[in-house]
Amino acid sequence: MKSPSIGVKGAAAAGICTVALISACIALTVHLTVNRDSPPESAEKPAFSTGGDMLDYLLNLRRIDRKDGLLVSWYHAANRKSEMEQALKSDVMVLEADVTTEGLNTHNETDKPIMAHPPAIYSDNSLQEWLEAVLNSSNKVIKLDFKSIKAVGPSLDILAKKSSQVAIDRPVWLNADILKGPNVPLNTAVNASLFLSLIQEKFPNCTLSPGWTTLYFPFFPNNTYTQKMVEDMHSLVGKLPQRITFPVRAVMVRPAWPHLSWLLTQSNRYSLTLWQGKTDPVTVEDLLFIRENSHPEQIFYDIYDPVLSQFKEKALNSTRKILTGNS
């Protein structure tokens, strides 16, 4: 009497399996059809991220043999076409260029980003043209220095559109002075909250380079960066996801080292980029002090010759102690 009962159960199980098999076949057919008809991505995935570590990028290119900011070379103000072309022909690793809006603060002002450093407010080179030339003819790192908040939004739109069309397969640094710094009587900084929010909204995959406005007067007493200045900066950017390098005026760094070294300890995403005003009396000894009290990958040196060459010769051939690892 039990055999018919077993037969009914078997038939039911077979029916369930058949339905499951048919459902699986339908799902597979839909999956293959959708994938077959899906359009390709508009831009290839880049070999290197625009927000990636510059030193890793240069290592991959074999431009440097270890992660050391002193090995990186810079070209300043590659703005006008002649300057840009000269920079592209050089062996420098990073192109630094200034961005403002055409006719800034005049009745002829437009929202077109151009490559110029005020007081120059006109140029034969737009950001669009500059970007196309740099991407088409080099593998150099890009650093854009914004001189006006008005240029930031339109420039980021250009970057975002370009990255949707082609692979910007290199680090992109975005710089602006966003806080009032040493010896500056009036606040001329780029609007900090707007600068940072525009980047998060429009082009977050970058390295941030937020700095302080500064003035330096040779032969006069000068102030330097204070603990409050670095704490204010950290409070602005500490929770952001990007790598962050703080541009600091080299001549002011050694007397401010307790404060700047504190800043470096607040995140492993932080670094410093030392820059030099053309007449700033930066000394090799001051640079060696900074070198000996920091990790090589924490400090970039955007310094002029002959000081840079003299410093490199001593630093790279020195037996003096340099912090490494977890020192």
Q: Is residue 323 part of a domain?
A: no
198 shares a domain with 298: yes
Q: Give yes or no: residues 112 and 34 share one domain.
A: no
Q: For 263-318, write each residue's pLDDT tens digit.
A: 999 999 999 999 999 999 999 999 999 999 999 999 999 999 999 999 999 999 87
Q: What per-residue confidence (pLDDT) applies to 320? A: 54
DSSP conformational letter for 40: P
Q: Which residues contact 72 (CB under 8 A, 6 or more apart)?
A: 54, 55, 58, 64, 93, 94, 300, 301
44: in domain: no
CATH number at residue 214: 3.20.20.190
CA-wise closest residue to 138 among 174, 96, 172, 90: 90
pTM of the complete model: 0.83
Q: Are residues 245 and 154 in the same domain?
A: yes
Per the structure, the complete domain to which residue 148 belongs is given by 54-316
Residue 324 lies in a domain: no
Evaluate whether residue 46 is within a structural domain.
no
* DSSP 3-state of 71: helix
- H helical segments located in the chain: 3-37, 54-60, 81-89, 127-137, 152-165, 192-202, 227-237, 257-264, 284-292, 307-316
Tokens of 201: 């909204």
User: Is residue 67 domain-shared with residue 160, that is, in the same domain?
Assistant: yes
pLDDT tens for the chain, residues 1 to 327: 444 444 444 444 444 444 344 344 434 443 433 343 333 333 444 579 999 999 999 999 999 999 999 999 999 999 999 999 999 999 999 999 999 999 999 999 999 999 999 999 999 999 999 999 999 999 999 999 999 999 999 999 999 999 999 989 999 999 999 999 999 999 999 999 999 999 999 999 999 999 999 999 988 889 999 999 999 999 999 999 999 999 999 999 999 999 999 999 999 999 999 999 999 999 999 999 999 999 999 999 999 999 999 999 999 987 655 555 444
Residue 20 lies in a domain: yes
Structure-token pair, residue 294: 């920091």
Instruction: Supply 27's token pair.
Output: 């799902």
The reply to whether 29 and 130 lie within a common domain is no
Please indicate, yes or no, whether residues 24 and 63 belong to a single structural domain of this protein.
Answer: no
Rounded distance, CA 160 to CA 152, Å? 12
Taken in order 98, 100, 104, 105, the sign of the CA dihedral is negative
Q: What pLDDT score was predicted for residue 219?
A: 83
120 and 33, same structural domain? Answer: no
Q: Are strands 94-101 and 113-115 parallel, antiparallel or unpaired?
A: antiparallel
Enter the DSSP assignment of 242: S
Q: Are residues 119 and 22 in the same domain?
A: no
Domain identity same for 273 and 141: yes
Residue 69 has which token pair? 């900011």
Query: How far is residue 56's CA from residue 38's CA, in Å, rounded to a whole number?
Result: 34
H or E element that contains 143: strand 141-146
For residues 187 and 213, the answer to whether their CB atoms sit within 8 Å is: yes
CA distance 255 to 222: 11
Q: Rounded to whole angstroms, how far apart are CA atoms 170 and 178?
A: 25
Asked whether residue 190 falls in the same domain as residue 281, the answer is yes
303 occurs within a structural domain = yes
CB of 258 within 8 A of CB of 229?
no
Are residues 312 and 200 part of one domain? yes
Tokens 């307790």, residue located: 258
CB 297 within 8 A of CB 69: yes
What does the pLDDT read at residue 283?
Answer: 97
Which residues make beta-bridge pairs with 302?
275
Q: Evaluate whether residue 47 is within a structural domain.
A: no
Report the domain count for the chain. 2
Query: Do 95 and 26 share a structural domain?
Result: no
Does some domain include residue 286? yes
Nearest to 76 by CA among 94, 91, 58, 99: 94
Q: At 159, is the secondary structure helix, strand, or coil?
A: helix
